[in-house]
Structure 1
């Protein structure tokens, strides 16, 4: 059973907080956390991420970026990365995680574009990619739980 999901991006201020919030909303009985491979630790979510999620009724105002760490990795049943490169780095750094690490865009065979410092249109594209990719994961997890 998948009770704990970890969503990972680079800085943990753009993509992973948005994906975390959307997954938590879609899977209310699942613990969803996020972290960054090279997190801007201690920083809040990017203002554009906050704005886009607020438009969906989701508040990212309390998000604080954290570095990927052993505790998060050990407790995660499923680890979703934004890119294939992040997946490979995580599996190399945490060999015990193999078989639990996947790209969020695995089914679509896409990497989610990094919108950091690239403007609202790129943030919207990244959020659309996350939405599209997340639907398949949510469907699979709901099938597993039922």
Structure 2
């Protein structure tokens, strides 16, 4: 049973907080779960990107408490499951804490290990595409959580 789920991307302002808040919303009926996020190159203390936040709000999910934070080995070691957006993120995670590689997977694991592209500083359409992709990928994980 996964009790501590960590979602990782680069800046921790677009993809990982979107997936974090999606999972919190979808798993709200499961008590005792910790779902959080961090970035390999976090824009520390920044809120979620305005476009990513707007899309979450439009879908009934409030990401306003989010503040970006830097990924640290303690976060990785404390997690039961680590979900990353791209293969390069898995490499970055392994570089920080090689011993966690067995519990680190792509968010798109159940969809041919598809990566989630970074929408940062791109169009609303790019954010919409990424949101739909992450919505499917988080649904794919639900049966395991």
Report the TM-score when normalising by structure 1.
Answer: 0.93
Conserved? CA contact 1:39–1:67, under 8 Å? yes
- How far apart in 1 are the matches of 2:85 and 2:37? 11
Conserved? CA contact 1:79–1:100, under 8 Å? yes
Give CA-to-partner distance per residue, 1:48-107, whole Å, 9 cap, x none: 011000101111122100000122112100000000110122112211102100000112
Moved over 6 A (4+): none
Q: 2:106 aligns with which of 98, 103, 108?
A: 103
- How far apart in 2 are the matches of 1:57 and 1:133? 18
Find the residue that maps to 2:60 and give its secondary structure: coil
Cα root mean square deviation, aligned: 1.0
Aligned to 1:133: 137
What pairs with 1:106-125 in structure 2 (closer than 5 Å)?
106-108=109-111, 109-125=113-129
Aligned to 2:42: 39
What pairs with 1:1-146 in structure 2 (closer than 5 Å)?
1-28=1-28, 29=31, 30-108=33-111, 109-141=113-145
The count of residues paired between Structure 1 and Structure 2 equals: 141
User: Which runs of 5 or more structure 2 residues have no equivalent in the other structure?
Assistant: none
- How far apart in 2 are the matches of 1:50 and 1:25? 14
Conserved? CA contact 1:43–1:65, under 8 Å? yes
Report the TM-score when normalising by structure 2.
Answer: 0.93
User: Which runs of 5 or more structure 1 residues have no equivalent in the other structure?
Assistant: 142-146
